[in-house]
Structure 1
């Protein structure tokens, strides 16, 4: 079954997704088509909160296909949590990393780990950490010195987003152990809406 949620105002995409899944039997698949970041994030969060496994596929023209297979009952939700306003407002900053270290020299990896760890101590956490280029190695290598710092940030509610093209280039897609795969459109959208910290 495919659900077209393009050009819909929030929280309508989540309402339609919830209704569609409730009409399925366990094991039946649902595909949801969206074309903006807010519904993509809200539907993803809804599915995660309902313990439904799902995948995201980026299509042309900024569209995303979300696939999920119904597994278990769907519980009631507070639709106020899925408004566009929550996603579109600027709740803070994003950290943009394109290397798995900061600066040059052997101290770089350890220094970046300390910086990331320090964000656990500040009152206002960043909204997300965006990882591109070889920074994606930090979310795929459990032995990397910054792996724990990123995991701690994720556990604190910070979104950890690794560039999908970069993971593919390094052949690390199946090694992703923290956060989610992102794409150029989502990175560009977040960088345009949030103040950015580059380490």
Structure 2
């Protein structure tokens, strides 16, 4: 069993670190310092069909997750790899550089969302940025390293050229390519699933 000290880490890092540790260990004990982290770890474990137990010790919480013999991901991986069924095409669409109405909190949430995308077992196929969303693909973005990781791992990233021009950011594009609204509409029409943070 491996023990992780995730006290003081912002969401989603306790889940990400636990998930990574479970790739090499059957049982991981994660120490966190808030109930939200306990809830997030519990939800993660239930989605994966893992066994989860948590307890409070002083001001901290200990969440123990055990893989057992069977992983929930097996059926998904088997379906895609061995049954010749096409993987559903997933497109993530960004119309803003923040999530929600509060700009300060929204920037934090968007950064966390994009980081969380890099930790998924199945990455999206495409990411489309338009309107203020194009600010994420330029030098003004704090998430460029995560976007470059996604691009390097096969995720196609496109930004609306009209939007880049409108915000005077065309020369500052750092990841992906420039596209137009006709192409954006086609990409969205062909998607099996569209995610919009």
Quote the residue 1:112 is aligned against. 110
Does the residue aligned with 2:118 lie in a helix, a strand or coil? Answer: coil
1:72-127 Cα distance to aligned partner (Å, 9 max, x none): xxxxxxxxxxxxxxxxx764200000100111221111111111111111121101
Contact in 2 for aligned 1:113/1:146 (Cα 8 Å): yes
Instruction: Specify which of 133, 152, 156 is matched with residue 155 of structure 1.
Output: 152
- 8 Å Cα contact 1:136/1:167 also seen in 2: yes
For these two proteins, the number of residue pairs brought into alignment is: 110
Root-mean-square deviation (CA, aligned residues, Å) is 1.5
Match of 2:136 among 132, 138, 156: 138
- Measure, in 1, the Cα distance between the counterparts of 2:187 and 2:194: 9
Aligned-partner SS, 1:101 = coil
TM-score by length of 2: 0.53
CA deviation after TM superposition for structure 1 residue 183, in Å: 0.7
Alignment check: 8 A CA contact 1:90 1:193 kept: no
Structure number with greater Rg is 2
Which 5+ residue runs of structure 1 have no aligned equivalent?
Answer: 1-88
1:166 aligned to 2:163? yes
TM-score between both structures, scaled by the size of structure 1:
0.52
Q: Which residue of 2 aligns with 1:197?
A: 195
